Structure 1
Amino acid sequence: MRALRWVLVVALALAVLALAALTLGVFATLNPNAPLWLRSLGSVEGVLSARVGLEGVASYSRAVGLTLLTSLLAGLAAYLKPRG
């Protein structure tokens, strides 16, 4: 059971890192002076959200939604982490 929890924590941590990068990219697309590599991450997120069917949602709303989802997953990973 303890090993399964560690596997879940690592999987959730990797998902959090990926979502955090996409979130940063979406916020970067809102600023035309942001570095190109950050705006490229936002472009990747735009393609992914179009596949899911969220192309009609404003970029700021998607960024806030991704921020909330990333925070929830990070909290879940911390909650599931095996202790002592």
Structure 2
Amino acid sequence: MRGLGLALLTLLTLLLAALTLGTFASLNPGAPLWLRSLGSAEGLLSAGLGLGGVPGFARGLGLALLTSGLAGALAALWKRG
């Protein structure tokens, strides 16, 4: 059961990392299309959560902080094994 929780937390962390990267990539019109597509997906999710009015850079910073916090928690839980 613990392994399943760690696996789900790992997937959530990786998903948030990808969305964070996409958010920052959507701020640059020269970024690759696949990265800007991730940014568009994040924009849709943010709008669904009522955060559509928050500027992209602020959303990116918030996602970066959330992702790093989850990654730190995951590392601490993983080490306790």
Shared fold, TM over 0.5 = yes
Pair member with larger Rg? 1
SS in 1 for 2:51: coil
Separation in 1, partners of 2:21, 2:72 = 19
The Cα of 1:9 is off from its aligned counterpart by 1.4
Separation in 2, partners of 1:15, 1:75 = 13
- Which residue number corresponds to residue 47 of structure 2? 50
What's the TM-score once normalised by structure 1's chain length?
A: 0.90
Separation in 1, partners of 2:75, 2:52 = 32
Match of 1:61 among 39, 58, 62: 58
What's the TM-score once normalised by structure 2's chain length?
A: 0.93
Structure with more relative contact order (C-alpha pairs < 8 Å, separation 6 or more): 1
Residue 38, structure 1, aligned to residue 35, structure 2? yes
The Cα of 1:26 is off from its aligned counterpart by 0.4
Gaps of at least 5 residues in structure 1 are: none
- Which residue number corresponds to residue 28 of structure 1? 25
Gaps of at least 5 residues in structure 2 are: none
Determine what percentage of the aligned residue pairs are the same residue: 60
- Which residue number corresponds to residue 76 of structure 2? 79
The Cα of 1:82 is off from its aligned counterpart by 5.2
Contact 1:5 1:82 in 2 (8 A): no
Number of residue-to-residue matches in the alignment: 81
CA RMSD of aligned residues (A): 1.3
